[in-house]
Amino acid sequence: MKNLFIRLYKDESAATAVEYAIIAALVGVASIVAVSQFGDAITQLFQDAADSVNNR
């Protein structure tokens, strides 16, 4: 049992997976913040384009 804990303690492959998960979470949070900040402006841009096409 002691050898199992020592082997798990020295295994670094899980640390890499955790690092990738943290990076993915940060990218997700950044995406959500960007969409919430620029969402209204983008919506208005597309609405203006749609109005322009409909008025022709």
Using CB atoms within 10 A of its CB, is residue 50 exposed (0-12), middle (13-18) or buried (19+)? exposed
Distance between CA atoms of residues 38 and 44, nearest Å: 10
Instruction: Outline where the chain has alpha helix (H).
Output: 2-10, 13-54
Domains in the chain: boundaries: 2-54
Q: What is the pTM of this model?
A: 0.53
Q: What is the pLDDT of residues 10-42, one digit of tens each?
A: 776 667 778 889 999 999 999 999 888 888 888
Among 40, 32, 37, 31, which residue's Cα sits nearest to residue 48? 40
**How confident is the model at residue 14, as a pLDDT?**
67
